[in-house]
C-alpha cells in the first residue's frame, strides 16, 4: 500500500511549488488531480488551468515524484450521451499511460429531479469504464449529493453491485460518506473486498476534509476494517495549511498527517 497526497490540496499555489512541498515532506508519490470546470460554475485544481496534460506529466516526471493515481475531477453528466471520462483525462492517458497505474472517477451526478436517471445512464458509464479496466486499475469514488443534483452510488450496496458487475473497484472518501450520514466503519466492512483506494480525511459539524484527528470520524476502526494488503493507495485529501514564504508550515503538517496514518496501520 502506498501513502500519497492529493495535488489538489494545494490548488491555489503554482503546481511546481506544490510538488516541491510534497517532496520536501518525504512523499514519494501523489494523486494527480486533473483540472476541471463545469456544473454550476464549479472549478477545481485551479493551479493546472491553462497547462496541457502532457506538460503536467513532464513537470511531475522532472519532480522525481511518482503518480499513484490520476483523479478525473469531473463526474457531472449533462445529457445521457455524455461520457464520464473527461477530455483532459484522455490526453493524460495518451501521453502518460506508463506513468499512471490507477484511475479514480467521481460517481456520476446530474442536475435533475429525476431520481431514476442513473438506471438509464449506468450502462453507458459501465461501457466507457470497461474500455479502460484492462489497462488501468479503475476506481469509482463515492460522493455526496449537491443541491439540485442526483448523485449515483451513494448507497454502499449500490456501489458494490456496480463495481462487482463491471470489473471495477472502489475509492472510499471518508468525508463524503460522513456528509451522507453513512458510517465509514460499516461501509468499509461491507465493500472491503473491492476497495483499492482511499481519500483520507476527518469530518465534524459540516466541516469537510479536516486534518486527521481533528474531527469525529472513527478513523482507526475504518482503517482496521479495510484489507490493507490489497489496497493500492491511501491518499491524504485533507486540509493542509499554507503560508507564503514559510514552506515549513505545510511540510511539517504533511509529515504529521502521514505519521497519523502510519500509526493507525501498525
CA–CA gap between residue 15 and residue 263 (Å, rounded): 29
- As a whole number, the mean pLDDT across the chain is 97
How large is the greatest C-alpha to C-alpha distance in the chain, in angstroms?
Answer: 51
Positive or negative CA dihedral for 54, 59, 64, 70?
A: negative
- C-alpha cell of 121? 445512464
Nearest to 133 by CA among 157, 172, 96, 163: 163
Binned at pLDDT 50, 70 and 90, residue 156 comes out as very high
Q: Is the pLDDT of residue 171 over 80?
A: yes
C-alpha distances in angstroms, 54 versus 32, 91, 184?
13, 7, 36
Q: Is the pLDDT of residue 86 over 80?
A: yes
DSSP SS3 for 77: strand
C-alpha 213, offset from chain centre: 20
pLDDT tens-place string over residues 215-260: 999 999 999 999 999 999 999 999 999 999 999 999 999 999 999 9
Amino acid at each position: 500500500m502506498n501513502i500519497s497526497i492529493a495535488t489538489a490540496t494545494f490548488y491555489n499555489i503554482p503546481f511546481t511549488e506544490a510538488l516541491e512541498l510534497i517532496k520536501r515532506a518525504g512523499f514519494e508519490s501523489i494523486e494527480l488531480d486533473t483540472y476541471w470546470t463545469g456544473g454550476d460554475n464549479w472549478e477545481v485544481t485551479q493551479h493546472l488551468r491553462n497547462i496541457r496534460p502532457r506538460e503536467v506529466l513532464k513537470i511531475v516526471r522532472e519532480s522525481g515524484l511518482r503518480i499513484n493515481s490520476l483523479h478525473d475531477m469531473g463526474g457531472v453528466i449533462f445529457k445521457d450521451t455524455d461520457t464520464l471520462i473527461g477530455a483532459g483525462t484522455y490526453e493524460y492517458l495518451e501521453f502518460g499511460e506508463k506513468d499512471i497505474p490507477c484511475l479514480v472517477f467521481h460517481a456520476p451526478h446530474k442536475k435533475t429531479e429525476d431520481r431514476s436517471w442513473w438506471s438509464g445512464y449506468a450502462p453507458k458509464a459501465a461501457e466507457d469504464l470497461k474500455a479502460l479496466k484492462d489497462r488501468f486499475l479503475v476506481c469509482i469514488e463515492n460522493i455526496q449529493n449537491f443541491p439540485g443534483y442526483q448523485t449515483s452510488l451513494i448507497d454502499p450496496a449500490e456501489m458494490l453491485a456496480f463495481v462487482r458487475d463491471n470489473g471495477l473497484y472502489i475509492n472510499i472518501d471518508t468525508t463524503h460518506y460522513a456528509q451522507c450520514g453513512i458510517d465509514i466503519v460499516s461501509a468499509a466492512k461491507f465493500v472491503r473486498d473491492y476497495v483499492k483506494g482511499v481519500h483520507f480525511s476527518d469530518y465534524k459539524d459540516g466541516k469537510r476534509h479536516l486534518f486527521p484527528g481533528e474531527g469525529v470520524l472513527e478513523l482507526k476502526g475504518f482503517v482496521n476494517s479495510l484489507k490493507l494488503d490489497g489496497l493500492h493507495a491511501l491518499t491524504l485529501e485533507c486540509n493542509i495549511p499554507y503560508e507564503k514564504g514559510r514552506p515549513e508550515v505545510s511540510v511539517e503538517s504533511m509529515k504529521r498527517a502521514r505519521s497519523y496514518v502510519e500509526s493507525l496501520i501498525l
